[in-house]
A and B are shown apart, each in its own frame.
Chain A
Amino acid sequence: MSKQSGSLRRYVLTRIALAVPMVFILLVLVFVMMRVAPGDPIAASQGGKLSAAELAARRHAAGFDRPLYLQFWEYLKSVGTLNFGTTFSDNLSVRDVIIQRGGATLSLSLGALIVATIIGVPVGLLAGRFRDRGIDVAGRLFAIITYAAPAFVLGLLAQLAFGPNGLNVLPSSGQASLLVGLDVPTTTHILILDAAIAGDWSAVGDIAQHLVLPSVTLGLIIVGVFIRMIRVNVIQSLQGDYVEAARARGIKETSVVTRHAFRNALVPVVTVLGLQVAMLLGGSVLTEKTFNWPGIGQALITYINARDYAAVQGIVTVFALVVVVISMLIDFVNALIDPRVRY
């Protein structure tokens, strides 16, 4: 066992070391993308509102008149200290914006992942096991429709069907009812968790209800990939040599399917799950807009419209870092499940 944990530790360290250049390249990309647009951030956001002298003073204060390499160094430092400066449009600390809004996006993304897993894994497994039968055809159809439908279409349909204008069973806007949201004391910035910590269970219920439609909408966007991926893997592993060998040893068919076929089929899914997190972040921007969700995605849209470069740069950097960290975590999980990865 010691040999195995040793190789696992080595794997983790190597993987972390490899992430360093990846993060650097990402930061360069973000930095360059923010600066390829003509003009500078101050002129873009405040142009026409302030006098030329005033603009120059602001530009100097923000450091946009300095050479690019110095600006990049400043940017790197801001990333290193996780302090992304101040927004131009509303003079807030970018870091505070990310922390405050990030909680909402996190709960939405987790909710979506849970929905996608609860629906996607069983449907995918059954579709693969009962290939070309009813469940498979229905599952494939469901997968392709949800995958093809844009987030706002699904979201609007869900709102129409279940919201106040439809069946009126679920709230379709915001993270909580107005008064509930204000009452919950802030500790983690994840509203449902804060309500639970405060012991306010009626608030937890209210927040959970608000989570349903946005989570399902965002979850459905990625569930198609889950279903198709798992289905194909199950079909492949059911034809696998070790499955036939297990049958030849007289292993019970239920064990053959679950222990041998399903388990092996789910390994690559973990990787896909990681890749889907990036898609979740993209999808959350649209879903948050649709459901008026006070998350980081909505903030991003607001700041892009305001041409607030400091805020956009900060948020995009955090998105990029989150994707890197998650993909690293996924690799660790993979190494834990599949002994072959460690080599």
Chain B
Amino acid sequence: MTTTTDAAAAATPAAGEAGEPVLSVRDMRVWYGTERGPVRAVDGVSFDVRPGETLGLVGESGCGKSTLGRGVLGLTPPGSAVDGEVLLRGTNLVEQSPKQLQKLRGPELGLIFQEPMTRLNPLMKISEQFEETLRTHEKGLSKQEIRERSLEALRGMGIPPSRYESYPHEFSGGMRQRIMIALALVLRPAFVVADEPTTALDVLVEAQIIKILADLRKNFDTALVLITHNLGIVAEACDRVAVMYAGHIVEQGDSREVFANPQHPYTKELLRSTISLSTTGLHYIPGSPPDLGNPPEGCRFHPRCPVAMRGCATAEPPEVQLRSGVRSTCWHQAIEVDPSLADELGTDGREPLAAVKEISVADEA
């Protein structure tokens, strides 16, 4: 790993590596220091994103999706720590200084936020916010060049040039989100995290934004991580999907394959919980995601898992790759792939956990 490569050198892509991942994350961990001790919001996550590829990141609130996205850009709040490898074309971002990360954010790494109403500085005209961004990263641009580049980015988002000198409060939420996106993309970053970019918007604007993001990878080969609650968006807009639960990626693979044939019990439950026209009753997963300051032993999903085995409560499941290419982190698939792994579950480890749980609940009562 060329982790010592300086940031500027890494910024120039070598020819003929279109299939190589833009971003490779290996065993990434993010801790938040709290009064109760460290909270592992992201705990050993690995994934790749290739040029022009969109990876959907789904999971319940509080499972570490946003932390993961911010961790990649080095934007976790004070009092947190990032560990592991985040390789941007071979450069480990975790080892970069704040100054080097700042230089990469914008031209290499982009972040699109959820709340469009508050993400633009209310005191600065749209033009000033573009000028500031372009000037910071491309010194020596003339005023005319800055104007042209900004207007081009805005036009791509459907914002007319006549609005260039306006203030943020003069735009609607959907327009502000498109301006935000234009601002994040004006430098054409190779890798972009979009953190629930459509959650606060109505369905028509949502469709617009998704279309814009889809065009982006088509036109500029941008690698995109799309964080969302909306499984419909993932099915429609993402090549691959990663399902997160309690700081882990529990299942990842081709999004069609995962949706058609979910493997991990959490993915199955999540998909059962979506609402469509054919939904007759509401399904939900009982309980709530665990406290990440004190996560359950074994598989983190076992207290809510409908098919949990006794061994799931004590032994942490390994990630296995299935024949379809999908990778899952569940004992059921692990044993299927490699029956010898069953030994790790103990003698009666494959007995269903449910019966045991009922007794313990009765004891407590």
Contacts and interface: CB of A to CB of B under 8 A. Distances in A.
Q: Decide whether A and B assemble into one complex.
A: yes
A250 B102 contact: yes
Contacts of A260: 121
Contacts of B106: 249-251
A242 B137 CA distance: 18
B133 A251 contact: yes
B121 A250 contact: no
A264 B137 CA distance: 23
B139 to A, nearest CB: 12
B167 A340 contact: yes
Given A241-B118, A255-B136, A339-B167, A249 B105 contact: yes
Contact of B118 (A240, A246, A267): A240
Contacts of A263: 123
Given A248-B111, A248-B184, A253-B102, A338 B122 contact: yes
Given A248-B105, A249-B133, A339-B169, A264 B111 contact: no
B119 A241 contact: yes
Contact of B137 (A1, A250, A337): A250
A241 B115 contact: yes
A297 B180 CA distance: 54
B132 A251 contact: yes
Contacts of B102: 247, 250-253
Interface string B270-302: 000000000000000000000000000000000
Contacts of A259: 121, 124, 132
Nearest to A338: B123
A248 B123 CA distance: 18
B45 interface: no
Nearest to B119: A245
Contact of A340 (B110, B169, B180): B169
A244 interface: yes
Interface string B3-27: 0000000000000000000000000
Binding site secondary structure of chain B: mixed
A69 interface: no
A73 interface: no
Contacts of B110: 248-249
A102 B169 CA distance: 42
Interface in B106-146: 106-107, 109-111, 113, 115, 118-124, 132-133, 136-137
Interface string A314-342: 00000000000000000000000111100
B29 to A, nearest CB: 21
- Listed residue (B115, B118, B121, B184) with the most chain A CB atoms within 10 angstroms of its CB: B121
B167 A245 contact: no
A339 B121 CA distance: 11
Interface in A234-280: 240-242, 244-253, 255, 259-260, 263-264, 267
Contacts of B75: 244, 247-248
A1 B127 CA distance: 14
B161 interface: no
B183 interface: yes
Contacts of A248: 73, 75, 105, 110-111, 113, 184
Nearest to A131: B78
Nearest to A247: B75
Nearest to A266: B123
B123 A255 contact: no
A259 B118 CA distance: 16
B211 interface: no
A337 B133 contact: no
B121 A246 contact: yes
A267 B184 CA distance: 26
Contact of B105 (A240, A250, A264, A267): A250
Given A255-B132, A259-B132, A339-B169, A249 B122 contact: no
A263 B123 CA distance: 8
A267 B133 contact: no
Contacts of B107: 250
A249 to B, nearest CB: 5
B103 interface: yes
Contacts of A250: 102-107, 109, 133, 136-137
Given A246-B121, A247-B105, A241 B113 contact: yes
Contacts of A264: 121-123
Contacts of B160: none
Nearest to A253: B102
B33 interface: no
Nearest to A240: B118
B232 interface: no
A339 B118 contact: no
Contacts of B113: 241, 244-245, 248
Contacts of B111: 245, 248
B98 interface: yes
B180 A252 contact: no
Contacts of B120: 242, 245
Nearest to B117: A241
A263 B121 CA distance: 10
B3 to A, nearest CB: 21
Contact of B122 (A1, A242, A244, A247): A242
16 contacts: A241-B119, A242-B122, A244-B113, A246-B121, A246-B132, A247-B102, A248-B75, A249-B105, A249-B110, A250-B109, A250-B136, A252-B102, A253-B102, A255-B136, A267-B123, A343-B169
Given A248-B110, A249-B183, 7 more contacts: A241-B118, A242-B120, A242-B122, A249-B133, A250-B133, A264-B123, A340-B122
Nearest 7 CB-CB pairings of A with B? A250-B106, A250-B105, A241-B118, A248-B111, A245-B119, A339-B167, A242-B121
